Chain A
Amino acid sequence: DAKTTQPPSMDCAEGRAANLPCNHSTISGNEYVYWYRQIHSQGPQYIIHGLKNNETNEMASLIITEDRKSSTLILPHATLRDTAVYYCIVATTGTASKLTFGTGTRLQVTL
């Protein structure tokens, strides 16, 4: 699986948009971008994934650049409960495909 690069930490004020970047310059054509988050001492939670088009669900939006070498996860109105470690992962589809979790970005949402 391709490697990803994320900043180790970010801060965001409550109510503002949190924009979490991820670089994946060696992504292959058949690899998707997945985002998960992990709140302290819990199991990771799936957020969203995409191939090349922008995606939106009830939790977040995913913006993938046209060359697919980077992406941004957007939490439109961050709350204190969004404080977590966010992992960007690139992987092929299918249950045999391994998800490789790096160290992620620790997002701290503050009042």
Chain B
Amino acid sequence: DGGITQSPKYLFRKEGQNVTLSCEQNLNHDAMYWYRQDPGQGLRLIYYSQIVNDFQKGDIAEGYSVSREKKESFPLTVTSAQKNPTAFYLCAISPPGEHNEQFFGPGTRLTVL
């Protein structure tokens, strides 16, 4: 929150469809991250980007894709190749500097039927 927007809050899709989750920030931060959270579990890193037009895979990138064409936007596409897409998806940003605080958006809860 506080400059990070994720929409929509709840999203339903049929199995086999690709779906793109939105993450927008107006704080002019370079670093952006996508995490996935399953019930009762911690967060797992999917992708992160430190600068426009560049991004790196996290721990569970398979079945996901991202783009970073603009500094303020880091959309995540959940493809049909992701075997278990139903989850809570969180976007985060990190300000420049030597410390590693991350600030999270409100999340999107994706349900694939």
Which residues of chain A have a CB within 8 Å of any CB of chain B?
32, 34, 41-46, 49, 87, 91-104
Contact = CB atoms under 8 A, between A and B. Distances in A.
Given A42-B106, A43-B90, A97 B43 contact: no
A91 B98 CA distance: 12
Nearest to B103: A46
Given A41-B107, A43-B105, A43-B106, A94 B100 contact: yes
B69 interface: no
A56 B82 CA distance: 42
Interface in B28-77: 30-31, 35, 40-45, 48, 50, 56, 58-59
Contacts of A94: 98, 100
B104 A43 contact: yes
B15 interface: no
Given A102-B42, A103-B40, A104-B42, A45 B104 contact: yes
B7 interface: no
A32 B102 CA distance: 14
A32 B43 contact: no
Contacts of B59: 98
17 contacts: A41-B107, A42-B107, A43-B90, A49-B101, A91-B100, A93-B99, A94-B100, A95-B100, A96-B48, A96-B50, A97-B100, A99-B45, A99-B100, A99-B102, A101-B35, A101-B42, A101-B43
Interface of B: 1, 30-31, 35, 40-45, 48, 50, 56, 58-59, 88, 90, 92, 94, 96, 98-107, 109
Contact of B101 (A46, A87, A92): A46
A103 B48 CA distance: 21
Given A43-B107, A95-B30, A103-B41, A34 B90 contact: no
